[in-house]
Amino acid sequence: MGTDSAPERTATREAQATAIEDAKISVLGLRKIYGRRPDKALALLQEGLSKDDILRKTGCTVAIQDATFEIHAGEIFVIMGLSGSGKSTVLRCLNRLIEPSAGRVVVDGIDVTKADKARLLEVRRHKMAMVFQNFGLLPHRNIVQNVEYGLEVQGVDKAARRAKALQALGLVGLQGYADKLPRELSGGMQQRVGLARALATDAEVLLMDEAFSALDPLIRKQMQDELLELQSRMNKTIVFITHDLDEALKLGSRIAIMRDGAIVQLGTPEEILTQPANDYVRAFVQDVDRTRIITAGAIMKRVDVIMHPKDGPALAVKRMRETDTSTLFVTDASRRFRGVVRIDDALTLVRENKHSLEGVIDTDVPTTTADTPIAKLVPVAAGTAVPIAVLGEDRTFLGIVGRASILAGIAGEQH
Amino acid sequence: MELRIGEAFERLIEILQERFDPFFHVLGDGLTAAIRGLEGVLLFPSSYVLIGLLAVASWRLSGPGSAVLSALGLLLIDLMGLWQATMETLALVLSAAMVSLLLGIPLGIASSYSRWMERLLRPVLDLMQTMPAFVYLIPAVLFFRLGKVPGVVATVIFAMPPAVRLTLLGIKQVPRDVVEAAIAFGSTPRQLLFNVQLPIALPTLLAGVNQTILLSLSMVVISAMIGAGGLGEQVLKGITQLRIGLGFESGIAVVILAIVLDRLTHALGQSRTRPS
Ligand SMILES: Nc1ncnc2c1ncn2[C@@H]1O[C@H](COP(=O)(O)OP(=O)(O)OP(=O)(O)O)[C@@H](O)[C@H]1O
Ligand SMILES: [Mg+2]
């Protein structure tokens, strides 16, 4: 068929439309130059000069070189990088707390970079709420007045905003603290107030700049758990900045790694760990506890030789001899997992002249799912001689994870 | 060749006088009315009533010790027969402080918005504070002749700088992330100023109010030289007529007034920093 039919064209257009809708925030060619002569610096950047050269020639700091990415609705998008790599600058360009030097930021179809004052206020009031590293609470106002702030500047009437604020305080577990002043609360509690303030406006996007970095490790972990718990109920789009890899891996649906104002890799935590784009990222992920991130699906091996229950034991013995193993995996005709047969059982069947494996399939073998982190598989693997079977939906047999692959996964080798 | 900066200055004053005479007239009348009005209010109740009121205010703002001190001090003034002069001075000081604050606080706010404004104001403020205060008597007298109004004008020039400076300082001290948060949640510049910057700057701003009032008080003797009256006039009489006792008593009255005003305004700043 040489020509597109009309329905097909509509279908592709719809597919494109959903792709764009799916991107809650699109960032296109974003650049930010600090200094007196940003246009000169931009031109030099275009010519391909390095950040250091530009600083030497113009005295301008290139904070963001060229950032293009999309943030999907409902994900926790983590931006990670060393100090000074431009994380905060990127985040503040999203709501134009910092004016970008070039590029576009589109939120829900609104071009924030082109928005006039009224539009920008609208975006800040209703689309995006922010949580700050040092909380940014108003010291002269009590907790509930702080939480109300976003609604107050919108002009929401007092009773309505008070109700909303108390509800948001409830979400973060601080109902009883409405009348306290910020300085009477611990750091962790103050940041909950910061979170409640962001939740109170019902903005769909949360911008969090190192929101948990100022907290003790224990409180920090607790806040991370709570954020994930809240997120599972509220389904916000969260842009989360951190320089802590463990935090990034724990929270991130996807992680963007920044270096010198550029995004050097963007991917899921697993992709970042298993396929670091360059030495910079590799150095970053070196010391991480991989066993909690890498999943069975990432290290499993496909199995080519599979038996069916109807197959004869002689065939099984032959296959085992060919592949030099003492067990084979058995699935039914639609690849649903049944169990394993062992060489001695197969040989017994041959001796007894039986024609099917049905009677000797061992169903009591360890199985797991593709998204199980290998930390959970280590004890299982230790207690069994048979590789662990990885099963998909409806117990479909996907592959196996042997002890060797688990160890290789922990060591960071790829296959 | 000799540079005639003085002559140029004279020319400038002349031009200003010619061009803006009606303006200075209106301004002068307004100030006169304000000072007279304030004097009227202060002298209307008996001295004991006012002493009582000030003691109560002192009690509420800074505790019983200050209240007793203020009451005794003011009683002493009354007993020395200087009540009338003291109230005239108080009216003058409060008028001057009020004008200083009305000009100084907005200027401080404006310079927090623009670096350019800040850079322009800084040397001017330095000049205003370092010039010998006597110099301000000259333009004040030229534009407003003799009396209380030029006294207030000279005092304002001298007492305004801390109002500007401490307003600016207070706003600059507001933590950056608090300002960022307010903007991020969609504050307009006006909302940012009134909901966030000014309330947080208030203690520092009130320290500016305190300094402005005390500097105003320090001008009483100088402004009395151009006929501003009040305690300053009594001090001058003490000097020129060699009435040492009167000079001394008036001096004490100025000190007492300073203590009372300082306690009141200082405590005002302190009480604002405590949770309400
Ligand atoms: N207002 C500013 N003026 C000039 N340069 C700035 C300014 N703000 C940031 N920079 C520079 O821009 C670069 C990126 O800064 P940014 O604050 O975005 O980094 P970051 O990744 O958030 O770092 P950190 O982890 O320390 O918060 C840095 O080199 C920094 O020095
Ligand atoms: Mg930062």
Contacts of A154 in chain B (CB under 8 A): 186
Local confidence band at A19 (pLDDT 50, 70, 90 cut-offs): very low
Asked whether A85 lines ligand 1 (CB < 6 A), one says yes
Closest by CA to A192, choosing from A160, A223, A167, A224, is A223
Residue A305: the pLDDT is: 85
Over residues B261-276, the pLDDT tens digits come to 988 888 776 655 444 3
Asked whether A41 lines ligand 1 (CB < 6 A), one says no
Rg (CA), chain A: 28
Task: Name the percent of chain B lying above pLDDT 90.
Answer: 36
**A339-362 average pLDDT score:** 88
Instruction: Kindly give the number of the ligand 1 atom that is closest to the alpha carbon of A133.
Output: 27
> Tokens standing for B223?
């402004």
- Name the residue in chain B with its Cα closest to that of A181: B275
Over residues A26-78, the pLDDT tens digits come to 999 999 999 988 888 888 888 888 888 888 888 899 999 989 999 999 999 99
Local confidence band at A324 (pLDDT 50, 70, 90 cut-offs): confident
Instruction: Determine the residue of A45, A78, A87, A209 to mutate for testing ligand 1's pocket, defined as the one with the most ligand atoms within 8 A of the Cβ atom.
Output: A87
Over residues A185-206, the pLDDT tens digits come to 999 999 999 999 999 999 999 9
- Name the residue in chain B with its Cα closest to that of A133: B177
Over residues B174-205, the pLDDT tens digits come to 999 999 999 999 999 999 999 999 999 999 99
**A327-353 average pLDDT score:** 89
Integer Cα distance of B12 and B142 in angstroms: 12
Q: Worst-scoring range by mean pLDDT, A54-63, A204-213, A244-253, A290-299?
A: A290-299
pLDDT at position A13 over 90 = no
Centre of ligand 1 to C-alpha A84, Å, is: 5
Q: Is B275 in Cβ contact with A124 (below 8 Å)?
A: no
Sheet of A327-331: strand order equals: A306-307, A327-331, A337-342
Chain centre to alpha carbon of residue A126: 25
Centre of ligand 2 to C-alpha B125, Å, is: 37
Q: For residue A97, give the 3-state DSSP assignment.
A: coil
Residue A412: the pLDDT is: 67
Contacts of B185 in chain A (CB under 8 A): 124-125, 129-130, 149-150, 153, 197, 201
Instruction: Decide if A147 contacts A165 (C-beta within 8 A).
Output: yes
Tell me the pTM. Answer: 0.79
Chain centre to alpha carbon of residue B145: 21
Alpha helices in B219-243 (DSSP H): 220-224, 230-240
Name the maximum alpha-carbon separation found in chain B.
Answer: 67
Asked whether A38 lines ligand 1 (CB < 6 A), one says no
Is B40 part of the contact surface with chain A (CB cutoff 8 Å)?
no
Residue A46: the pLDDT is: 84
Over residues A257-272, the pLDDT tens digits come to 999 999 999 999 888 8
Of A124, A135, A139, the CB nearest to B185: A124
Q: Which residues contact B230 (CB under 8 A, 6 or more apart)?
A: B85, B86, B88, B89, B91, B92, B220, B224
Q: Is A140 in Cβ contact with B184 (below 8 Å)?
A: no
Asked whether A81 lines ligand 1 (CB < 6 A), one says yes
